[in-house]
Amino acid sequence: MAPHAEIDTRSNNGDGPTNGHASGSTATAGNLFTVTSPNVVYTDSTIESKYTYRTTSVTAGADGRYTAVPKETLYDFKTERAVPKTGLMLVGWGGNNGSTVTAGIIANRRGLTWDTREGPRAANYYGSIVMGSTLKLGTDAATNRDVNIPFHDVLPMVHPNDLVIGGWDISGLNLAESMDRAAVLEPTLKQMVRKEMAEMRPLPSIYYPDFIAANQEDRADNILPGSKAEWAHVEKLRTDIRDFKATNGLDKVIVLWTANTERFADIIEGVNDTAENLLASIKNGHEEVAPSTVFAVASILENAPFINGSPQNTFVPGAIALAEQHNAFIGGDDFKSGQTKMKSALVDFLINAGIRLTSIASYNHLGNNDGKNLSSQRQFRSKEISKSNVVDDMVEANTVLYKPGEKPDHTVVIKYMPAVGDNKRALDEYYAEIFLGGHQTISLFNVCEDSLLASPLIIDLVLIGEMMTRIQWRSSGEGEYKSFHSVLSVLSYMLKAPLTPPGTPVVNALAKQRAALTNIFRACVGLEPESDMTLEHKLF
């Protein structure tokens, strides 16, 4: 079968097959709620809001005391209401995550129900913050109770059922065969989606053996010529993106890396430290340019947002600079699914509770292809770095418990155990000092169905990433609107090692990441952050 790089999964509201037309739908926040305020204006094409951003500026005196000054900055936000027809191109489409998220979108689009040994199960988007969670809109005027709405309904967002999916893979198996190889889904569900999945086959990808484990070589039967970076690869990937967009009548394409973890690339002056040097290094075939970086460069040049779901340093300084030059969006790194999401929540809780965490030991064993690739030390080192840095900002924020530069002992171990397949086992021990020299030990055993946790994160990253392309802002009254910075740090809730704009702090605390995402969306419709003070229940 010839390579086939797309599937149309546009929603049809249960009315049968779609007709394949290319126009996007128009949705509005007003479908569920309308903000009545002099600071909010709805037009046919935009939601425009004025938002007062309140912060506190702190200066330190020579005597060690601080002076805190409240500050207010007025911003204008403008959000496009028209929801574009959006394509998702996955690098590693035939892997566990790629085949699982594709089958999941098909199942949701068709409203499938299937039998399991535990009874019938229905398609859902559980595990997605966009599709499976709510946020507080406000307080009911009559009852004083909270009013919560689906996260997806705060702004006019793409629905995952409407995504058109395609992509690349070094393996030439069709998606039905890839789904069988992954061994993630129930056989009854696989039978329901098999016909559509069998018609999908990834486009040839690039394969540089030095960057992934040698044990992946037997999968590499669908590759473009060349074993190291070359400009022809950039041009071919750009052509693939353009063809995919044109063939499917898309308004936008988002590219997401869900392929194997690569080794870290060395940052070398004159090679990948600037945008110009990086482009020259690709053209000169330098061996320290990773496949994921080549995909990032191609996406940036096509103005297609690129998101890295693996832990390697895809976004070398030259790639970030290139994105800034082209006002293109990038985000990464590494899906934050099971163990690390628990860690970022639990450590945040312990340290904010005044408990001095002194040791974290994390042990993982898994049997999927990710585990096989990570059994190579150079690829494991990429994962170890992304998992180990997840507590740093929480520790640094508490100068009562930790001296400058002090942090808990933290070790991460990953072992490949084929028998457990995609059911990753994560064992964690948290050891802490408590009152008067006492100790507390918390042990967790977390069985994570890896791809079933990662797939909703792919959906969140794509939907939120696309939404950010339609939001612009400016200081109130100051000239033209502008987009957010090229580095989408707002995606950090879904990522283990959040990429931030150069010179800005990294936030790993899960509650802060969720609050940032929620409050940016609220600002776009002219709503203040929820303070959670609930004074209406406390003052009489």
User: Which residues are known to be catalytic?
Assistant: 334, 383, 424, 496
Do β-strands 164-169 and 86-91 pair in parallel, antiparallel, or remain unpaired? parallel
Nearest Cα residue to 81 out of 33, 39, 48: 48
Q: Classify 69 as helix, strand or coil.
A: strand
State the Cα–Cα distance between residues 269 and 440, nearest whole angstrom.
47
Structure tokens at 423: 């059911």
Cross-strand pairs, 535 = none
State the Cα–Cα distance between residues 485 and 471, nearest whole angstrom.
11
Q: Classify 121 as helix, strand or coil.
A: strand
Q: Is the CB of residue 425 less than 8 Å from the CB of residue 364?
A: yes
Helices (H), 264-336: 275-283, 291-301, 317-326
State the Cα–Cα distance between residues 282 and 293, nearest whole angstrom.
10
Task: List all residues 6 or more positions away from 346 whose beta carbon is below 8 Å from its beta carbon.
Answer: 430, 442, 444
* Cα 245 to Cα 20, 157, 172, 199, 294, distances in angstroms: 13, 19, 22, 19, 19
Cross-strand pairs, 89 = 166, 255
The string of DSSP codes covering 345-372 is: HHHHHHHHTT-EEEEEEEEEEE-SHHHH
